[in-house]
Structure 1
Amino acid sequence: MKTITIEGQIRTEFGKAATRQLRSEEKVPAVIYGGAQEVNFSAPAAAFKSVVYTPDFTVIDVQVGGKSHKCVLKDLQFDKVTDSLAHVDFLELVEDKKVVVTLPIKFVGTPAGVKAGGKLVTKIKSLKVKLYPKDLRENIEVDISALELNGNVRVEDVKAENVEIMNSPRIPIASVTLTRQLKQEEAAAPKAEAAKAPAAAAPAAKK
């Protein structure tokens, strides 16, 4: 599991003036929920880049006030005018408490339908799951090797040990569709067969 470390400082002042001061120093206010107590801190904006601007799921080790907090990203807020990062919420991982996170989907295998000339279309790229911290992983693997032409893999088809998937079971995750070339070939096939068929014998002329 990929872990990113962020070193911060405990916040002792709050309000708009204190927040403006932090931003003038290129720092971002943040909070950690879910543990024994709420922790308010700030850290340089650059420290959050590897957490915010990545498609990967990561565990964040927030080191603040002489303590280490294992967390996951919960929420992000951006400035409406400048689009810069304005606030970050983390959820602290507690060993015996389940956590809800969003994990990327990793497709495994080449679909049978793609080998037959079809095109793989992905519908969603991640799943919302509930699990204990010890069961956290970088992604959820979905085997699509048996996916046929015009077939679908749905949420209900995903098997992941010790993971409760919270998305609706019938939502499609991926499908294999006909390519334009394959459609043209299928459309041309009946015409080609008809052309090969022997012409019907002409009726005998009446005497």
Structure 2
Amino acid sequence: MKTFQLEGEAREGLGKKAVRELRKQDLIPAVLYGSSPVAFPYEGKVSKGDKLVELEKNSAVIVTDFTVSNDGVRKLIYTPEIFIVELDIKGNKKVKAILKDIQFHPVTDEILHIDFLEVFDEKPIVVEVPVTLEGHAEGVKAGGKLSLEMRKLKVKAPYAQIPEKLVVNINSLGLGKTIQVGSLQFPGLELMNAKNAVVCAVKLTRAARGAAAAAASK
């Protein structure tokens, strides 16, 4: 995956009033979740903007509250590409992370909040990767219409093994046929979608049905 450089500022004010003030400055509240639970007793240092959030008895995760600018995240969010984010929270920490969730205003589409998840070299993560179709389907040559049903697939792997896109060859895809998730394999990746989910298909058109009917009547 490509990398994206992003700077943030640790924050302490977490109330609604503080959030309104941040947005007036064109800043977006954000949260970084540490992806590994912390076992107690915890002897590490919790930096400014960090807090421990309990998961279960004697276990918690480190959560960091910070802000990013609208301009800083624009090219990260408004793109079909996926990135590993090299996140620099000034005065706190530098980590690698992925986008976990984005909240938009229901009317204006303004970005209200962003969640990030810290990642590590060997620990698998789950992300959605864009699908690209390659080749010329036999069914299209016969008059069918190619349809991409799933523009992204959910994969699980260490982040260094995750590609920028998943290439699916469709040369042998016949008229009225589909390619399902269960028939696909990519080295080092585990596909998390349902195996019977249709990734792409060549659908019968009226012209193709007519041609098939004419051929059958001869």
The 8 Å contact of residues 6 and 88 in structure 2, kept in 1 or not, is answered as yes
DSSP-derived class of the 1:38 partner: strand
Deviations 1:34-77, CA, capped at 9 Å, x for gaps? 25632221011121111221111122121112543211111011
Instruction: Give 1 or 2: higher strand fraction.
Output: 2
Residue 141, structure 1, aligned to residue 167, structure 2: yes
Structure 2 portions without partners, runs of 5+: 37-61
Counterpart of 1:43?
68
Moved more, 19-28 or 88-97: 88-97
TM-score, normalised relative to structure 1: 0.86
Identity of aligned residues (%): 36
1:124 to partner: Cα distance: 1.0
1:150–1:91 distance in 2 versus 1, CA, 3 Å = same
* Residue 78 of structure 1, aligned match among 104, 107, 116: 104
1:189 to partner: Cα distance: 3.9
Moved more, 63-72 or 140-149: 63-72
How many residues matched? 192
Structure 1 portions without partners, runs of 5+: 194-207
DSSP-derived class of the 1:13 partner: coil
Residue 130, structure 1, aligned to residue 156, structure 2: yes
The 8 Å contact of residues 6 and 87 in structure 2, kept in 1 or not, is answered as yes
**CA radius of gyration, larger in:** 1
CA-atom RMSD in angstroms: 1.7
* Residue 118 of structure 2, aligned match among 71, 92, 100: 92
TM-score, normalised relative to structure 2: 0.81
The 8 Å contact of residues 7 and 90 in structure 2, kept in 1 or not, is answered as no
